[in-house]
Structure 1
Amino acid sequence: MSSFRFALQGLSAVIKKEKNIKIHLLAAVIVVIASFLFGLSALEWMFILFCIFGMLSLELINSALEKTIDLITEDFHPLAKYAKDVSAAAVLLYALMTVIIGSVIFLPKLISLFRTLI
């Protein structure tokens, strides 16, 4: 039970301290609202939830890696920079994938909505 409490403490700490996780959470809320409004299928919901929770998890890992590197060295080191940059690149690639998946799911629905309004 304490490991669950520690995990919640970690999540709370990241939400309080990290700007990027707040941006991802805001995006997640918007996507979930849009998903309800458009009445996504179960399969579409699975992709959306996979994207949201995967993105948040990867951002948590990225934040943990950055803080660990900062703990190890306060000095600039090329390998520390490399590790941080690669971790950030992983987040970027996953974010790109989520945008593509979101576009595949939502663009046809948005186009259909605008056609009915015009």
Structure 2
Amino acid sequence: MESPHKGKTGIRRLLIAFGYSCAGLREAFRNEDAFRQEVLLAGVLVPLAFVLERDMAARALMIGCVLLLLIVELVNSAIEATVDRISLDDHRLAKRAKDIGSAAVLLSLVNLALVWALVLLR
């Protein structure tokens, strides 16, 4: 069954979508420990990117990597919730989906560390 809001257009659709996005952020913050930890990390790193004397391109890369980590964590959390909704039984495909989502978060963390290290050490 499709959402009753699918036919909405214009500003009304944008407002409805914005509400769903805010609800998703609230749910992730409330229910996902890793997301809360990464938001805390973002709360430190984003202001730090402005304090450090770097050019705007470097600053954008540094902040972009932090935001990418949050985005990937949200997608990983959505994958995990969907898999758990389908079944809590052990299944090789469920494990594969969850492990791949976790690997995406790990690569985002490595990317963040590498970019920050390269910018700070140049």
Superposed pair shares fold, TM > 0.5: yes
Structure 1: give runs of 5+ residues left out of the alignment. Answer: 109-118
What number of residue pairs does the alignment pair up? 108
**Which amino acid is 2:118 matched to?**
V
Corresponding residue for residue 113 of structure 2: 99
Corresponding residue for residue 5 of structure 1: 19
CA contact (8 A) 2:49 2:63 kept: no
Cα displacement (A) at 1:64: 0.2
**Which amino acid is 1:90 matched to?**
A
Structure 2: give runs of 5+ residues left out of the alignment. Answer: 1-14
Q: How high is the sequence identity, in percent, across the aligned residues?
A: 31
Tell me which stretches of 4 or more aligned residues in structure 1 moved more than 4 Å. none
Aligned counterparts of 2:120 and 2:42: Cα–Cα separation in 1: 14
Q: State whether structure 2 residue 54 is matched by structure 1 residue 40.
A: yes
Please point out which of 48, 73, 78 is paired with 1:64: 78
Q: RMSD of the alignment, in Å?
A: 1.1
Corresponding residue for residue 14 of structure 1: 28
The 5-angstrom pairing of residues 50-61 of structure 1 reads 50-61=64-75
Name the stretch that deviates more: 65-74 or 21-30: 21-30
Q: State whether structure 2 residue 100 is matched by structure 1 residue 86.
A: yes
Cα displacement (A) at 1:50: 1.4
Aligned counterparts of 2:120 and 2:34: Cα–Cα separation in 1: 23
**Which amino acid is 1:40 matched to?**
R
**Which amino acid is 2:23 matched to?**
Q
Cα displacement (A) at 1:19: 0.7
Cα displacement (A) at 1:37: 2.1
Cα displacement (A) at 1:33: 2.5
SS at structure 1 position matched to 2:89 = coil
After superposition, give the CA deviation of every residue in 1:17-64 in whole Å (9 maximum; x if it has no partner).
111111111111211222222122100111012101111110000000
SS at structure 1 position matched to 2:54 = coil
Cα displacement (A) at 1:105: 1.5
SS at structure 2 position matched to 1:50 = helix
